[in-house]
Structure 1
Amino acid sequence: MSIRLPAHTRRSAARRRPGRRPRTRIATVLALVLAVAAALLGAAPAPPAGPEPAPSSPVAYDVAARLGVPVTLADGTVLRGDVYTPAVAGTATPAAGPFPVLLVQTPYGRAAKADELAYFVRRGYVAASVDVRGTGSSTGSWSPFAPVEARDGAALVDWAAALPHSDGEVGLYGDSYTGINQISTAAAVGPGSPVKAIFPVVAGNDLYRDLVTMGGLPNAEFMPLWLLYTGLGNLTNPILSALMSGSTQNVLDTLSLVLQHLGGVASANLPILTGLLTGGEEAYDGDFWQRRRPADQLAGVVANGVPAFLVGGWYDLFQRGALMNYAGLQNAWAGRPAGAPMTSDQQVTDRYQLLMGPWYHDPRQDPEFDLAALQLRWYDHWLKGLDTGIAGAPDPNPLHVKELGSDRWLDTRSYPFAGADPTRLYLGKGRTGTAAASANDGLLTPALPASDNSEFITWTSTISSCTRSTAQWIGGFVQDPACTESNTARESGPNSLVYTTAPMDEARTIAGPIGATLYAQANTNETQFVVTVTDVAPDGSSVPLTTGALAGSHRTVDPARSWYAPDGSYLMPYHPSTRESTAATPAFRVARYDLEIFPTFAAIAAGHRVRVVVTTADTPHLAPTLSQSLNLLAGIYQVKEGPSAPSSVTIPLAPASAFATPCTEVCP
């Protein structure tokens, strides 16, 4: 499926793209979840300084393939890979080379990457696509992102470097899962390894917080579909491969493989799903997820001298993680803790870059973005020594971002974004006249309300799915433009409170992570809060920008791992979310809830307003665990406002002029 870009991204594209028939409403399209799961596989540019960079490698070869090549690991596990070699033009005869090698490690079936890899093979790269252990035609038992895959990756790097026609240098390739295992492999190879560059696309940083849950609430939209898809694929891919080969012996061997893979489904997919939804160990940030945290591997990538170009999306599953990976790599290079916020004056390097665009989980669906050409420039620079202009700047700005709501692609350096001042805005009583259908139509103001007030909101198990969150957490593969571009369906009724600023007197940019602090009293021992930030136009339309959520039982904050605004308010609160750190909400007492709202970079035009919408559900994205649900039933909350309980949101705001360096080198 092709991605339907948000309205503010489509403005320029609309001049070149034919109109499209509106999509079916998301509520009905979600019935096609299995089909969706299968799809989950300003200023003028400145002239370049110095000599004109050399062009990237041209098309010069055909493709020769060797399929099902075995790789035997130290523990006896046999992985299978397909190897694609540049061939003499017009023939299937491998060219002499030698050539650098691109390696991808995938749980989705190695053949799925053949077309993507052919692009690079025709331009002078050997490419290898390998089924990770316990998937496809590889033996063993699979567990998602298991630490053993990093060791397997290190062994595969040595194998790839020694392939026929290889020059001994290796680049890692892939997106999503295959982007994440680039990080783990690059951290595991050791200094001086054959790995000379990686290019992780839409890769996570902290799977528990980026994807599996939000604020301790399980991701019930993506995770069940993904676990179902990978489980079925691990059982059917070996059979399909064997049947296509036509070999009886192959079929018999493959039945043995299926039994091994069935063990992986039984020991991994099913326990993760049931544990996540019922409140088992997988619903907490315990040993299982901590051992699978890319954030802890970033320092190893830097220590091993491996440069990385990251690509992320403002509407991606790893919206949070891409920026955290960038900051972590830059911090490690500068000798700082990987999980710390970067400082505004911190020295940076273009060995570690991030391109953050207006994308969901597949940036290739953007017709204006040639991802393969960008990847080629990176690999050509680090693996072939070509000056493609992508690295080596004396004063780099290696963080490249699309400003949502404008046509600007910008270059900057640090995350959090230097130039954006965290501004604390308080929730207050009043009717702004901009949300007539809402229960309260409250104020969002820099001035602390003079008196205390309460607004009532009720818990609900479901809420309208008509907002961008629904499209985001199914990877963007199913969308309803009427919903991705509007949040109004969630801004009325007893399950929603709305707070809106006065109109902006000048154009501004929201840039970075957002922290919300709610003081509330509940009649239950569990609470569920969801906070969405929107851009409200003078005509009343409310475009959703970003969202955060929190289960009240996960409200404990780790001060040492949190990020702060200068006034001491949270810019990014960090919740440990271990079983030991969770605690019941005190019924009939005021408690404090600090929510992490995922980062954004969005233009707020003069005359527009910023809105904060507080709801008690995010359907179908989030669903409380069984134990959480029992404690949420019949919940009624009083959200407090005023001096004694100052509910607020801290938003990094900057004048539009604060970001003025155009992205001229790598942006679409």
Structure 2
Amino acid sequence: MIKKLIFCLLVFSLIFSGYSFFDKERIQASFYPGGKWQPQSASYEIAVEHNVPITMSDGVTLLADVYRPANPETGEPADEEFPVILAQTPYKKTTSHLSTDLAGATGHFPYLVKRGYINVTVDVRGTGSSEGSWEFFGERERKDGAELVNWSAHNLSGSNGKVGLAGASYLGINQFYTAALVGKNSPLKAIFPVIAANDLYKDTVTQGGIPNVEFSLPWLGLRGALDLLPPDDLAEDPLGAIETQLQRAGKLGNYYTPLVTNLLTGGEKSYAGTFWESRSPNNYLKRIAENKIPAFMVGGWFDIFQRGTPLNYSGLQNAYAGRPVNAPMSESQPVTGRYQLVMGPWFHTTALLNERLKELRLQWFDRWLKGKQTGIDKTKTPLHAFELRSKRWVNTTHYPFKQSDVKTYYFRDGRTWTAPSLNDGYLSTEKPKFFFGKDYIDWRMVSSPFTLQTEQSSMGSSSFIGELLGWPTMDRNDWTSQVGGLTFTTEPFEEAKVLAGPISASLYAKTTTEDAQFVVTVEDIGPNGKSYPLTTGALIGSQRALNKELSWYDEDGKLVVPNHPYTADSKEKVIPGEVGRYDVEVFPSFAQIAPGHRIRITVTTADTPHLLPTTTQRKDLIGGYYQILRNTEYPSSVNLPLASPDDFEDSSVIWGPSGS
């Protein structure tokens, strides 16, 4: 745990240090969305006012740092009124001035300030120098956002009354609450959330109902470590700062520890109940559209919020069109440039290196806060996706991708001689023809850590540091996960295909225990046999119950995205010896499968160090031995969304760096 915490602190310090790895030539070769806007040169310097007090309606005082456009000659704040960019951070606003000013991880945007925006960075309650108690996106913190918008519009000197929200990760997630809670006709005119979740429980806290300890525990450790640092106002108010420090130290024992313990021991926090529902942006999207607040979103195919960011896009597009937020977008529904998504080839940390976001953010806010016709909203294709393995950007419209045709591939016997697995089976569009056919695999407490999941859940930390040190791109050959697992591999594709969208794997299995754990990985296999992992899904067997009303199906009735409630009430023990169906949600991908390449499905029963079953789950998993059935009666399969590369429009805009 200590090593993990030190590693996370190192990564954050590198982010704040100002390194940039973006390919400058590619920036110069591209043009801006709309084709007629250019970013203006810096016209101002920056004047900062630290620890500005803002009193909330419950009497709690939050402290903010305010960065104002300044006269280049005098250094004094310019005698003009400007729109305000607000960021709400739990990571101490004093770190904000160390930010690279790329994705806005810390909430400081000097690029915007120098071009005529006031930047307000606030310590959320219970963090940094702000009063109150931090409760991880708690109800009172969510309300604070709306009050901060009104303060920025009406009480901040130099404000012209128009406000935008910006920031990444935590600072991206809280934008959704604020944009929903400000109500209609508010001063909030636009948001720009980067790498933000849709459903905290399904995106990050667990995968398939199994706790994601590799991300969650180090992140909570980082939050706790920041609470032990002295408040920013120590010199101004020593006694108050000491009192705050003592309160924060006590919080480690009475909030952090119980939360983690509850999650890992199978308490109420280990289920998708009210605690997580109230904190999930998904439940705020309809109100954002009703409030008519535009959103420009950024995500990554290897981000920890890989699942959720596209759902924020489809949810907002649906809400704007008057459709159910949680439904798949209809192929015939219109789309709007008011809600856009850039989905790149990035991990959580490497997404923060996207220098392109400075200009995109300026173009977005110039449109909505300054009324300039920048052209960024005038698009018929508001979804901008990077195609993995081909390194091209495409523009499209709908999620799930309407270009994709869902093909069912069945688990088959035989040997492909391409994988070091227990079975080395085939993946075929032909159903099994016999009444027998099965493969065996046992439950394992640990698995190979040298996987995409390990890198992804550590926020891409080693990739980030590798770029910093100039190391070559990490070899993602995923063969170690296949040893001890089951693999099913297609024949080589004759023509290029794009694996585009969410994936569903349906496993028919017998177990010897009262629970089961399945991990499904999708890989691109080159002619040389190297296995490039694209995406993964997982499921704890006792949460196999399917909500058919909220699951996504294609027009032929094929399951596209299984929806599991993951509640305490939906939990159902596995009956040993009986055949059960386990529909695994595999997170979306967007990757070209070149001619001569294959697609492989790898099934394992552990994902170390990413996933750790709760103590109550483990007692029903120990000693498990599974049969994965692949016969005419129980045809285990995977539904793959496949399209032709020609079905997607190439983008003339380079939306960010092409590697992670």
Aligned equivalent of 1:401, options 385, 388, 398: 385
Q: Displacement, 1:271?
A: 2.1
Partner of 2:431: 448
Whole-angstrom CA distance in 2 between matches of 1:512 and 1:391: 24
Q: Could you list the per-position Cα deviations for residues 47-94 of structure 1 after superposition, in whole angstroms to 9, with x for gaps in the alignment?
A: 9999x6242342011111110000011111100000111000033211
Partner of 2:571: 582
Aligned equivalent of 1:231, options 224, 233, 253: 224
Partner of 1:476: 460
Is the counterpart of residue 343 in structure 1 residue 335 in structure 2? no
Is the counterpart of residue 489 in structure 1 residue 480 in structure 2? yes
Q: Could you list the per-position Cα deviations for residues 325-355 of structure 1 after superposition, in whole angstroms to 9, with x for gaps in the alignment?
A: 0000000000001110001121000000000
Whole-angstrom CA distance in 2 between matches of 1:366 and 1:584: 45
Contact map agreement 1:312 1:319 (CA 8 A) in 2: yes
**Identity fraction in percent:** 46
Whole-angstrom CA distance in 2 between matches of 1:49 and 1:591: 50
Whole-angstrom CA distance in 2 between matches of 1:663 and 1:412: 13
Partner of 1:269: 256
State how 1:13-28 maps to structure 2 within 5 Å: none
Whole-angstrom CA distance in 2 between matches of 1:37 and 1:580: 39
State how 1:61-140 maps to structure 2 within 5 Å: 61-114=44-97, 115=99, 116=101, 117-140=109-132
Amino acid at match of 1:141: S
Q: In structure 1, the residue corresponding to 2:549 is in which secondary structure?
A: helix
Partner of 1:413: 397
Q: In structure 1, the residue corresponding to 2:632 is in which secondary structure?
A: coil
Aligned equivalent of 2:9, options 11, 29, 35: 35
Amino acid at match of 1:192: N
Contact map agreement 2:194 2:298 (CA 8 A) in 1: yes
Q: Could you list the per-position Cα deviations for residues 201-224 of structure 1 after superposition, in whole angstroms to 9, with x for gaps in the alignment?
A: 000000000000001000010101
Amino acid at match of 2:357: L
Partner of 2:190: 197
Contact map agreement 2:166 2:191 (CA 8 A) in 1: yes
Whole-angstrom CA distance in 1 between matches of 2:301 and 2:230: 33
Aligned equivalent of 1:179, options 172, 175, 193: 172
Is the counterpart of residue 141 in structure 1 residue 130 in structure 2? no
Amino acid at match of 1:391: D
After superposition, the Cα gap between the structure-2 partners of 1:242 and 1:164, relative to the gap in structure 1 and judged at 3 Å, is closer
Amino acid at match of 1:488: W
Whole-angstrom CA distance in 1 between matches of 2:150 and 2:559: 45
Is the counterpart of residue 188 in structure 1 residue 181 in structure 2? yes
Q: In structure 1, the residue corresponding to 2:172 is in which secondary structure?
A: helix
Contact map agreement 2:195 2:298 (CA 8 A) in 1: yes
Q: Could you list the per-position Cα deviations for residues 100-145 of structure 1 after superposition, in whole angstroms to 9, with x for gaps in the alignment?
A: 0000001110122234322211111011000001111111111111
Contact map agreement 1:520 1:640 (CA 8 A) in 2: yes
Whole-angstrom CA distance in 1 between matches of 2:238 and 2:623: 55
Q: Displacement, 1:37?
A: 6.8
Whole-angstrom CA distance in 2 between matches of 1:65 and 1:325: 34
Contact map agreement 2:300 2:351 (CA 8 A) in 1: no
State how 1:248-647 maps to structure 2 within 5 Å: 250-366=237-353, 369-393=355-379, 396-435=380-419, 437-451=420-434, 452-479=436-463, 485-493=476-484, 496-647=485-636
Range moving further from structure 2, 467-476 or 227-236: 227-236
Partner of 1:658: 647
Whole-angstrom CA distance in 2 between matches of 1:152 and 1:28: 33
Q: Displacement, 1:191?
A: 0.7
Contact map agreement 2:195 2:299 (CA 8 A) in 1: yes
Whole-angstrom CA distance in 1 between matches of 2:251 and 2:339: 35
After superposition, the Cα gap between the structure-2 partners of 1:136 and 1:562, relative to the gap in structure 1 and judged at 3 Å, is same
Whole-angstrom CA distance in 2 between matches of 1:382 and 1:355: 18
Partner of 2:146: 154
Q: In structure 2, the residue corresponding to 1:64 is in which secondary structure?
A: strand
After superposition, the Cα gap between the structure-2 partners of 1:557 and 1:299, relative to the gap in structure 1 and judged at 3 Å, is same
Q: In structure 2, the residue corresponding to 1:478 is in which secondary structure?
A: helix
Partner of 1:12: none
Contact map agreement 2:33 2:376 (CA 8 A) in 1: no
Range moving further from structure 2, 481-490 or 190-199: 481-490
Partner of 1:7: none
Contact map agreement 1:134 1:260 (CA 8 A) in 2: no
Whole-angstrom CA distance in 2 between matches of 1:36 and 1:644: 53
Whole-angstrom CA distance in 1 between matches of 2:32 and 2:357: 21
Contact map agreement 2:127 2:134 (CA 8 A) in 1: yes
Could you tell me which runs of 5 or more consecutive residues in structure 1 were left unpaired when the two chains were aligned: 1-26
Q: Displacement, 1:384?
A: 1.1
Partner of 1:21: none
Whole-angstrom CA distance in 1 between matches of 2:294 and 2:401: 22
Contact map agreement 1:467 1:484 (CA 8 A) in 2: no
Q: Displacement, 1:46?
A: 11
Q: TM-score, normalised by structure 1?
A: 0.90
Range moving further from structure 2, 74-83 or 86-95: 86-95
After superposition, the Cα gap between the structure-2 partners of 1:366 and 1:93, relative to the gap in structure 1 and judged at 3 Å, is closer
Whole-angstrom CA distance in 2 between matches of 1:266 and 1:196: 40
Whole-angstrom CA distance in 1 between matches of 2:577 and 2:549: 30
Q: Displacement, 1:407?
A: 2.3
After superposition, the Cα gap between the structure-2 partners of 1:409 and 1:597, relative to the gap in structure 1 and judged at 3 Å, is same
Partner of 1:10: none
Whole-angstrom CA distance in 1 between matches of 2:76 and 2:266: 56
Q: In structure 2, the residue corresponding to 1:183 is in which secondary structure?
A: helix
Q: Displacement, 1:175?
A: 0.5
Contact map agreement 2:5 2:222 (CA 8 A) in 1: no
Whole-angstrom CA distance in 2 between matches of 1:91 and 1:361: 40
After superposition, the Cα gap between the structure-2 partners of 1:458 and 1:413, relative to the gap in structure 1 and judged at 3 Å, is same
Q: Displacement, 1:33?
A: 3.6
Whole-angstrom CA distance in 2 between matches of 1:652 and 1:109: 43
Amino acid at match of 1:221: E
Q: Could you list the per-position Cα deviations for residues 394-418 of structure 1 after superposition, in whole angstroms to 9, with x for gaps in the alignment?
A: xx10000000000210000000001
Contact map agreement 1:513 1:652 (CA 8 A) in 2: yes
After superposition, the Cα gap between the structure-2 partners of 1:128 and 1:111, relative to the gap in structure 1 and judged at 3 Å, is same
Contact map agreement 1:103 1:172 (CA 8 A) in 2: yes
Q: Displacement, 1:454?
A: 1.0
Whole-angstrom CA distance in 2 between matches of 1:636 and 1:510: 32
Whole-angstrom CA distance in 2 between matches of 1:55 and 1:185: 30
Q: Could you list the per-position Cα deviations for residues 628-648 of structure 1 after superposition, in whole angstroms to 9, with x for gaps in the alignment?
A: 111111111000001111100
Amino acid at match of 1:381: R
After superposition, the Cα gap between the structure-2 partners of 1:34 and 1:330, relative to the gap in structure 1 and judged at 3 Å, is closer
Q: Displacement, 1:516?
A: 0.4
